[in-house]
Structure formats: structure tokens, C-alpha cells
């Protein structure tokens, strides 16, 4: 089993409506397996490539500066920085 560095979350807002978290990933860093409890929006602040380990296998996903995307509650995955540089995004969870 490969041990990867952990991505670093910084909570920016946590109130009754939203949770806003900045995520910083060193090269090769991961979130660890998790399931999203809320619908969420991701706002990339850097370019890069993410690998998503999912129950259906490994998927590659481009992270594009300023190109936001959304996912629904229940997503189950491990997010890994597949880039050779730090990648950063802001995650906004909707309560």
C-alpha cells in the first residue's frame, strides 16, 4: 500500500447555509476516501490534474483555473493530485 501526503483543508466559513473549505494538495497528496453529505461546488484556483478513486475505478479529471463544477450529495471518492505542482480549489458545500 502506498502512503501519500494528506491534502490540507482550511475552513473559511461554516454556518447554517454553507461550508466553505480551501483545499491544498501537494504533488501526490490525497483527501482519503470520503462521502459527501451535501451538494457542493468546486472553484479551482489553479490548473492541474486530479485522479479520482471511485467505487467504479480510477478516473482522471482536469482542474481548470476558474472553471467551477458541481456534484451532488452522496459522491464517494478519494481525490489525488496527479500534477507535479500544488493544486488548490475552494469547495462550497450547500446545507
Structural domains of the chain ordered from first start: 8-94 (2.60.120.10)
Mean pLDDT on 66-86: 97
pLDDT digit string, tens, across residues 10-28: 999 999 999 999 999 999 9
- CA–CA separation, 88 and 47 (whole Å): 8
pTM: predicted TM-score of the whole model, two decimal places: 0.94
Whether residue 83 is predicted with pLDDT greater than 90 in this model: the reply is: yes
Indicate the pairing of strand 48-54 with strand 76-81: antiparallel
Cell of 39: 451538494
DSSP state of 65: T
Whether residue 1 is predicted with pLDDT greater than 70 in this model: the reply is: no
- CA–CA separation, 87 and 73 (whole Å): 23
Amino acid at each position: 500500500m502506498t502512503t501519500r501526503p494528506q491534502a490540507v483543508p482550511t475552513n473559511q466559513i461554516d454556518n447554517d447555509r454553507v461550508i466553505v473549505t480551501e483545499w491544498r494538495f501537494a504533488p501526490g497528496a490525497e483527501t482519503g476516501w470520503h462521502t459527501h453529505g451535501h451538494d457542493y461546488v468546486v472553484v479551482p484556483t489553479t490548473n492541474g490534474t486530479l485522479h479520482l478513486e471511485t467505487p467504479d475505478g480510477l478516473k482522471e479529471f482536469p482542474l481548470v483555473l476558474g472553471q467551477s463544477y458541481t456534484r451532488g450529495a452522496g459522491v464517494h471518492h478519494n481525490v489525488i493530485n496527479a500534477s507535479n505542482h500544488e493544486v488548490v480549489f475552494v469547495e462550497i458545500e450547500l446545507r
